[in-house]
Structure 1
Amino acid sequence: MTDKNLTSDESILRLLKTTYSPDYSHRKLLQAVIEEYAKIVSDLREKIREFPQLESLEKAKDNATKKLQNAQGLLVPIRKIPAEILSEILYLAINSGYNDQFFDGNSWSYRTIRARSTYPPSLLFLRVCKLWKCVALDTPRLFTQIDLGGPCSRNYLAKVVSYVNHSGVLPLEVTLFPERWQVSSEEKLRTILEIRNNIHRISKLSVSETPMQCLFPVDTRTFLPQLRELAIFYFPQAPRRISSHPRDSIGVLDIPGILRIYISGNIRWERFLGTGMSLTWLKCHNRCHLAPSDLISLLLQSPNLTECYVDYNENEIPTDFPGSLPIIHLPRLQKIQITWTNEHEPQPRCLQEILQKLRTPNLNTLSIENQTSDEMMDILPTLSSWLCSTSSRLRELRLELGIVPPMPAKQLHTLLTGLPKLTDLSIIWTGLLSEAIDVLNRNINPKVCPRLTSLEYRLCDISVETVDKMIRSRLQSPGQPTGEDFGFLRAFHVVGGSWYRQELNTVWGDKADECLFIRELQQAYPDITLDFKFDGDL
């Protein structure tokens, strides 16, 4: 522009603090100014060599050199990049080393490992040059990821204040693990309280249990309109708590727009009220065991749930358990995993009633796991009632119900007959009698699991003869066609457990080489994946 005085060093300095890039006519003028400053610097150097005692010449040379560098700074190639593009480059530079600490977009599994720097990259940009500082400060999204998950070279409170001020009104993503900070309790408290002052702006919060009582004080209700993703972690060796209240003593969280929740700490679900109808992904495990009333509350208020992973516990039938339950419609639920964590009560009576009320027409994957009791969960009839209440689309089923008594063949047959689209089946930690294995024998039960392509027995007692016949009945013979509703076994896995011959009552542990039918199958059907790892191989 014609109003810029490029012959004035003051004007050049002002332009260096902007995103100004000279056009052709200004570049010509700048070249003349640079040549003039270069001549002045050269002449002064000659005079200094002749009169080294003249201090004023040194100062004049330094002054001219600075003016020369300033003028040359306006011609650096990066100034040709528009400010909008440079802003985008800086943002991508930050995120190239930033693993989303919340959820992976493909699997929706929680990720806890991320790349960290002791000095925040957004603040590093402010120290490169005046242009970068100007562009960075005009890019609020560079300051929305407040990572307080580990050691920091800056004062924690100063970092929070800086990011809050420079991020404008954009939603914040906060990682808060004060157990890893090497600072005083007073500084921890001041930093956490500064986060609380801006709690309404947080869209993603990854936090340990320690600061929960400060963020959400007891007997208060905190409204979080922006929160979309929440992760709460349990630290088994956490230092002394900042608050004097127990770990699970927090106020009520009102989170109407929440999409995903991950909890592994001592937080009761009853603390989460007003989750609205947006929740799509939930995982409660480790020390967060859902009670029957919690599970009912969760399912009733989350009709848009798509994936659910819960550790479930019922020590006894609770007094607040309703006498009759309504039908629970979850039309979008695709995957659910329920882990039974009760050490005293082997049978999930309340869970049976809850599952019978579920309506999940689009369920794709189901996993039921018993991790605390050898006694088998009497839940197969309940699963049949639930999964067969609508036309089942279930494709993957994992059953870990307990080892005593062996899995009942009739109940297993009823369940699998109602799952015509099942392709992957895993049966874990149980004794399988011949009748239970025969359920999948296509020559005996041709309508059971017609599309099954993958079968796994893990930590099971397996009859050699019976499983040999079952596998052969599900393998494709040469020239045998496949159809849309008819498939053949492509993978058979055995992990741990034992083989036995029923008529000889012989049990094998790690002697896989004595199972001749394994080698015969591998030779006769080279396209099938056969994977055998016995107790002695693990």
Structure 2
Amino acid sequence: MSNSALYSCIGCGLRIGEQLSSTNEPPSCMILDALSKSNDPPPPLEYDHLKQRYRETQSRVTSLSSQISRLGNSIKVLLAEQKKLKERLVAWKGLLHPIRRLPDDVLAYIFQTCVELDFDYLLGIDSDDSDRYPGMLDTGRSPWVLGQVCRRWRSLTLSLPQLWTYFDIGWKYTDEDTMYGTCFEPLLALQLQRCRDLPLTVSYYGEELDGQYASKQRLLMVLCSRSFQWANATIRGDTAGLNHLLPYRGLFPYLRQLHLYLEEDRWNDEDEEAYVFQDTPSLQQVTIAGDHGTFTSTSAQLPWTRITHYTSKECDEIQYKLLNNVHFRLLPKMPNLRICGLDCVDAMTGVDDPIEAPRASLKLSFLHTLVLTCHEIEDSEPSSIGQLLDWLVLPNLQCLKLLDGFRTPDSLLGLLQRSSCTLLELEIIDARLGGPQLNLVIGFHKLQDLHTLVIGKYKDHMSASISDASLKRLKLVWSGKHKSIILPKLQHLVLHGRKRWTDEVLVDVAASRRDLTAFGISAGSVARLESLVIHDAVLEGEAALVSQVAQDRLQVLQEGGLLFECRS
């Protein structure tokens, strides 16, 4: 090592890395080794020399100890300085964080998203879940927590009344951990003050219970002091709980959306009827989930003729079958429906009473979107989806989604033929169809204006998607003077389920619907395919296409404007 030091300590000036002189000398080492093995005294001629070496070594040890001590002190000083600088660095980093430079309008958008996410999370969990308590009155949730960060955020949060328009008192008292809090009423009143006169979104859980568990009705009373601002309400509980709102009947003039999740009434009180929302002149969107019996017994509980959006759902936790007899009773009350989504269950032979469709068809002149989902029971007759399609006449139908339980094409083709509608979107998922039945559907002449087709996951002998034979039906074919064009206006194709087609056929179909000039097709008579999506076709991480030739051809199509996606 060079005699020059690598550097000098800034604390004590010690020359760090300087070469130290050797303290080992062969004669001394030999004598030390020899005498260490016995009790003999050192030779007289060596005694003074050894004593001198001892003093030098002792002095050197003392010097090194002093240097080590000084270095230790320097290290402590340096570590303290490093800690202080790191803390200062964190502070500087916070000052330079981009969020400090966000304008108020961007922060307001972020705050709104936080509030909506918190509210949607609460709506998505059960009423007796511990996370549900105490709803949006939890000051650890948005928007309360947003005002606890800094002065600017608090000022902005208080200046945005739209952040305070979400009210959830939809928890269920279950144990001592969810006791009624005396602070809830003041918090609720404060939130109502901060939302000013904006429309409110409300969630409430009610049931017929006495004592402390019924004390939540006091919160409902505070919330209903602004019933004229309710615009969107989600009510859970049994019929008795729904009737907690009965004293406020007629006080919801601007309620537009109502979502009811009704449990089976444990008291079985036939005298209780849900007339709470009968006088709601602005109500247009209704969701009923669970026990529909309350609304099939009479016709006066909701302003049915004003309803334009209706959704009927099953609830897994409720032992109630949503059979077609419910739909046969309720749908005729809503002649102005535009959008309708129905859950249904096939009646089980020998268990459920036979369900007979009304003899007269039901014509819904304004309905343009219909979504049917069936919880299918094996070998049950008749098919609930088939019954509904055979019953309806929908002259304005544009979007039809059959998400489960669709068995045969006859009912669908009959609906299209009978309604003379212009269907633009068709989705058939998890149906029990074979290849010939699928070909019959997509080749039907009433689908000439269809621009979006979503198909796949067919329960055909354990198959999970469509094969090459079915996919080839979508290919534009030119043979001499003959043009074979199925779904000429198709622009968007989505294939669901495990991949059974080959890469070459998939790309052939897409290519045939992109290069229309090769077929001499006039502009406007046939639409170009704009997007191709395969959903759950391959495992995550696997390539959508294996064939290199197909990949190259698809790349050319994408460069020409085709949107291709592989989703999982």
Bucket of the pairwise TM-score, normalised by the shorter protein? 0.5 to 0.7
Residues 1:292 and 2:339 are matched in the alignment:
no
Match of residue 516 from structure 1: 549
Match of residue 426 from structure 1: 454
1:494 aligned counterpart, secondary structure: strand
Match of residue 345 from structure 2: 313
Residues 1:255 and 2:278 are matched in the alignment:
yes
Superposed displacement of residue 426, structure 1: 0.9
Match of residue 389 from structure 1: 418
Amino acid at match of 1:497: A
Q: Cα deviation per residue 1:422-442 (whole Å; 9 max; x = unaligned)?
A: 111111202434442232222
User: What is the rounded CA distance, in whole Å, between the counterparts of 2:538 and 2:109 in structure 1?
Assistant: 50
User: What is the rounded CA distance, in whole Å, between the counterparts of 1:247 and 1:462 in structure 2?
Assistant: 57
1:209 aligned counterpart, secondary structure: strand
Amino acid at match of 2:390: Q
Match of residue 503 from structure 1: none
Match of residue 338 from structure 1: 372
1:294 aligned counterpart, secondary structure: helix
The total of aligned residue pairs comes to 398
Based on CA coordinates, which of the two structures has the bigger radius of gyration? 2
TM alignment of 1:34-433, pairs within 5 A:
118=139, 148=169, 155-157=183-185, 174-177=202-205, 184-192=212-220, 203-204=230-231, 206-210=233-237, 213-216=240-243, 226=253, 227-233=255-261, 245=267, 251-253=273-275, 255=278, 257=281, 258-268=283-293, 269-270=295-296, 273-287=301-315, 290-316=322-348, 319=353, 321-322=355-356, 324-345=358-379, 349-370=383-404, 377-402=406-431, 405-406=434-435, 408-415=437-444, 417-430=445-458, 431-433=465-467
Superposed displacement of residue 531, structure 1: 3.3
2:477 aligned counterpart, secondary structure: coil
Q: TM-score, normalised by structure 2?
A: 0.55
Match of residue 86 from structure 2: none
Match of residue 491 from structure 2: 453
For 2:509, which of 467, 470, 477 is the aligned residue?
Answer: 470
User: What is the rounded CA distance, in whole Å, between the counterparts of 1:530 and 1:144 in structure 2?
Assistant: 40
Q: Cα deviation per residue 1:317-348 (whole Å; 9 max; x = unaligned)?
A: 76474454322222222212111113445665
Match of residue 504 from structure 1: none
User: What is the rounded CA distance, in whole Å, between the counterparts of 1:215 and 1:441 in structure 2?
Assistant: 55
Amino acid at match of 1:293: N
Which runs of 5 or more residues in structure 1 are unaligned? 1-93, 103-108, 123-140, 236-240, 500-508
Amino acid at match of 2:327: L
TM alignment of 1:16-35, pairs within 5 A:
none
1:216 aligned counterpart, secondary structure: helix
Q: Cα deviation per residue 1:130-173 (whole Å; 9 max; x = unaligned)?
A: xxxxxxxxxxx999976545899864456778999999999976
User: What is the rounded CA distance, in whole Å, between the counterparts of 1:510 and 1:525 in structure 2?
Assistant: 16
Worse-superposed segment, 484-493 or 185-194: 185-194
Superposed displacement of residue 259, structure 1: 1.0
Match of residue 562 from structure 2: 529
Q: Cα deviation per residue 1:388-444 (whole Å; 9 max; x = unaligned)?
A: 3244322211111435644624422443x3111111111120243444223222217
Match of residue 35 from structure 2: none
Q: TM-score, normalised by structure 1?
A: 0.58
User: What is the rounded CA distance, in whole Å, between the counterparts of 1:101 and 1:305 in structure 2?
Assistant: 31
User: What is the rounded CA distance, in whole Å, between the counterparts of 1:339 and 1:171 in structure 2?
Assistant: 32
1:315 aligned counterpart, secondary structure: coil
Q: Cα deviation per residue 1:215-266 (whole Å; 9 max; x = unaligned)?
A: 327999977774532123589xxxxx9x964899963336364311134445
When residues 481 and 302 of structure 1 are mapped into structure 2, their CA distance, relative to the original with a 3 A threshold, is same
Instruction: Name whichever structure is richer in helix by fraction.
Output: 2
User: What is the rounded CA distance, in whole Å, between the counterparts of 2:454 and 2:334 in structure 1?
Assistant: 28
- Conservation of the 8 A alpha-carbon contact between 2:338 and 2:368: yes
When residues 221 and 386 of structure 1 are mapped into structure 2, their CA distance, relative to the original with a 3 A threshold, is farther
Superposed displacement of residue 387, structure 1: 1.9
Amino acid at match of 2:328: I
User: What is the rounded CA distance, in whole Å, between the counterparts of 1:363 and 1:405 in structure 2?
Assistant: 25
Amino acid at match of 1:259: Q
User: What is the rounded CA distance, in whole Å, between the counterparts of 1:95 and 1:521 in structure 2?
Assistant: 39
- Conservation of the 8 A alpha-carbon contact between 2:491 and 2:530: yes
